[in-house]
Chain A
Amino acid sequence: MEHQSKLETVLRGIALLLVVVFFMFPIFWIFLMSLQTNETILRVPPSINFEPTLSNYRALITGKLETSAASLEINFLQNLWNSVFLSVASVSLALLLGVPAAYAFARHKFKGSEDIAFTLLSFRFAPPLLVLLPLSLYFQKMGLADTYLGLIWVYQLICLPLILWIVRGYFEDISPDIEYAYRVAGHSWFSTFRKIALPLAGPGIAAAGLLAFIFAWNNFIFALVLASADKQPVTVGALAFITASGIQYGQIAAAIVMSIAPTLALALYAQKYLVEGLSLGAVKG
């Protein structure tokens, strides 16, 4: 270990401080804004000396927006609920479909398995609009336009490849000998999968599920193209809300805080899984 000079320690400290300020300040500032009335937000010069109020959050929850001109009905809670429902349902479906498939790809090198796996991975990288625009025309014909079912199906584009690839890596790391020993003892294929493979790959499944949830929650373009107002998640809803509410900046800030709080909380709670999932199992350090 080299010892650091005093100057270097100071420089490192300053650099670290700058990094923290740059990445944390926007979240901190929007949070402060969400606790202010328009009056204090518009003060010049800006100041962090204000009486915090929850009125913005109250307006969003009750759905009544008082503007200077008139009282406006908004349904931000519906957007929040849509986000929760779409993300949870999509991830559940993707786990149900993806985990067995990941197991098949990891354990059985059947004909064409690599090709199929690559094709699925390449979906992750194709421009989403390429599929979404024709799909929106099909959905109109099939009656899936603006339904939760249609959205959940399309959300598989985000969730499924992610789960398939991360979980497959974890299954590959489990020695087949353990499973073989269990099978020789007379257990069926299915109970081997359930009792041995699934628990051993548990952390991987958790990491993949968590990441898929966050990506589904943060998605913007799918619902922008396919959903109308009452099915839209917070990402699209917040943008529409800005146009509708005009200059109610405190409420816009509060809506943003409520929209990002769930993923930030999840990230902090499960950061270890997240970091592993993010490196796609490529780097095991």
Chain B
Amino acid sequence: MPVPSQVSKRRGKRLVSRRALPYLLSLPALLVCIGILVPFVTAIYYSLQRYRLSQPWAREMNWGDNYVRFMSDSKFWNTLVVSLEYAFLTVGFELILGLGIALLLQKRTKLNNAVSIMLLMPLMTAPALAALMWKLMTNPGFGILNYFLTLIGIDDFRWGASPSSALFTVVLVDIWVYTPFIMILLLAGLRSLPTQPFEAAALDGVPRMQQFFRITLPMLTPYILTAALFRLLESIQQFDIIYAMTQGGPGDTLTVFQVEAYLNYFQSTNVGRSSALLLILWAITFFISNIFIKNWLRLRERARGEG
């Protein structure tokens, strides 16, 4: 536990300058960020306006109108549903796969360490570029994945170009990029678990399956929760992979929040609707991030207490 500056208490003489010091140290960082807070407030203001860049003369306050209209706007509901589908599908699969791989790599052998280093590579690939890589591999003309599919008898699978498989395709790319993140977190968690409960269980002859569900999983839960919430926060805001892969298409199959807001702003120049969409997304992320931060701080305290 850090002790609040004892030095300052004992040196009464220079109390004033010592008090100012922490503020002075953090001021530059704060100023840079406040410059970024201003646009945030502006976005709230825009969201309460009828505002199209192409019709500046018609700009006026319409208060909550943009939000009220969402209620009966099927495109909005599509955005909400697709965003949630994307977020839960990616995080769900990544958790299962990440946990499975972490269990596989739990023992500290040379081979396992080499594999876990290898798995860093997709995570370090820019998501937008990862989408382009998969786009090349799923190209209808020469895509290697299409070729593999023909080997097992599936012809003409159209990946991101078909409404029925577009969501699957971007979720697959997301899984490729981000599963290693969850794996790393859970592997660190697994390796930091105390060994006594497992030794005791082994002595008592508790079956491995039962050990996993009764001991490993409960003890790992805080790590799983942290990883899941963190990924959920990012996933519901995903833009790079979807935009680089299909630009939200085909049609409005993949118009998740940020993609829809981007298209609203740059294609239909509807600043009001775009801002309102982003504020709703912000409200969702604010809600998740509060749970996440609380959970994460608890985990951190625990890690400190034990280490």
Query: Could you say which of B115, B132, B144, B293 contacts A238, with CB atoms under 8 Å apart?
Result: B132
- What is the predominant secondary structure among interface residues of chain B facing chain A? helix
In the complex, whether A122 has a CB less than 8 A from a CB of chain B is yes
B265-307 CB contacts (< 8 Å) to partner A: 265, 271, 274-275, 278-279, 281-282, 285-286, 288-289, 292-293, 296, 299-300, 303-304, 307
Check B32 against A97 for contact (C-beta < 8 Å): yes
Check A107 against B2 for contact (C-beta < 8 Å): yes
Check A283 against B192 for contact (C-beta < 8 Å): yes
Check A180 against B7 for contact (C-beta < 8 Å): yes
In the complex, whether B92 has a CB less than 8 A from a CB of chain A is no
Chain A positions within 8 Å of B, measured between CB atoms, are: 2, 12, 15-16, 19-20, 22-24, 26-27, 29-30, 33, 41-46, 97-98, 100-101, 103-110, 113, 116, 118-123, 125-135, 137-138, 153-154, 156-157, 160, 164, 169, 172, 176, 179-180, 183, 189, 214, 217-221, 224-225, 234-236, 238-239, 242, 249, 252-253, 256, 259-260, 263-264, 266-268, 271, 274-275, 278-285
Check B43 against A133 for contact (C-beta < 8 Å): yes
Chain B residues, Cβ within 8 Å of A109: 2, 4
A20, A122, A126 pick with most chain B CB within 10 angstroms: A126
Check A133 against B303 for contact (C-beta < 8 Å): no
Given the interface pairs A19-B101, A104-B21, A252-B136, the reply to whether A125 lies near B289 with Cβ below 8 Å is yes
A280 CA to B292 CA in the complex, in Å?
13
Check A278 against B185 for contact (C-beta < 8 Å): yes
In the complex, whether B12 has a CB less than 8 A from a CB of chain A is no
In the complex, whether B28 has a CB less than 8 A from a CB of chain A is yes
Check A127 against B7 for contact (C-beta < 8 Å): no
Given the interface pairs A130-B282, A282-B226, the reply to whether A104 lies near B26 with Cβ below 8 Å is yes
Query: Could you say which of A219, A267, A280 contacts B120, with CB atoms under 8 Å apart?
Result: A267
Q: Mark B123-166, 1 if CB is under 8 A from A, else 0.
A: 11111111011101101011010010000000000000000000
Sample of 20 more A-B contacts, CB < 8 Å, known A45-B147, A107-B2: A2-B208, A23-B180, A98-B29, A100-B26, A108-B8, A109-B4, A113-B22, A127-B285, A128-B239, A130-B43, A131-B36, A180-B6, A214-B124, A219-B126, A220-B244, A221-B239, A235-B129, A260-B129, A275-B184, A283-B192
Q: Report 17 cross-chain contacts, Cβ distance below 8 Å, ordered by A residue.
A: A19-B115, A20-B115, A104-B22, A110-B23, A113-B22, A113-B26, A125-B292, A127-B261, A133-B43, A134-B46, A218-B129, A220-B127, A238-B128, A256-B129, A264-B124, A271-B120, A275-B188
What residue in chain B is nearest A119 (Cβ atoms)?
B33
- Chain B interface size band reads 35 or more
B119 to chain A, nearest CB (A): 6
Check B39 against A46 for contact (C-beta < 8 Å): no
B155 to chain A, nearest CB (A): 13
Check B237 against A127 for contact (C-beta < 8 Å): yes
What residue in chain B is nearest A154 (Cβ atoms)?
B36
Check B39 against A135 for contact (C-beta < 8 Å): yes
What residue in chain B is nearest A135 (Cβ atoms)?
B39
Check A282 against B300 for contact (C-beta < 8 Å): yes
Given the interface pairs A104-B21, A263-B126, A281-B300, the reply to whether A15 lies near B258 with Cβ below 8 Å is no
In the complex, whether B68 has a CB less than 8 A from a CB of chain A is no
Chain B residues, Cβ within 8 Å of A45: 147
Query: Could you say which of B28, B189, B192 contacts A101, with CB atoms under 8 Å apart?
Result: B28
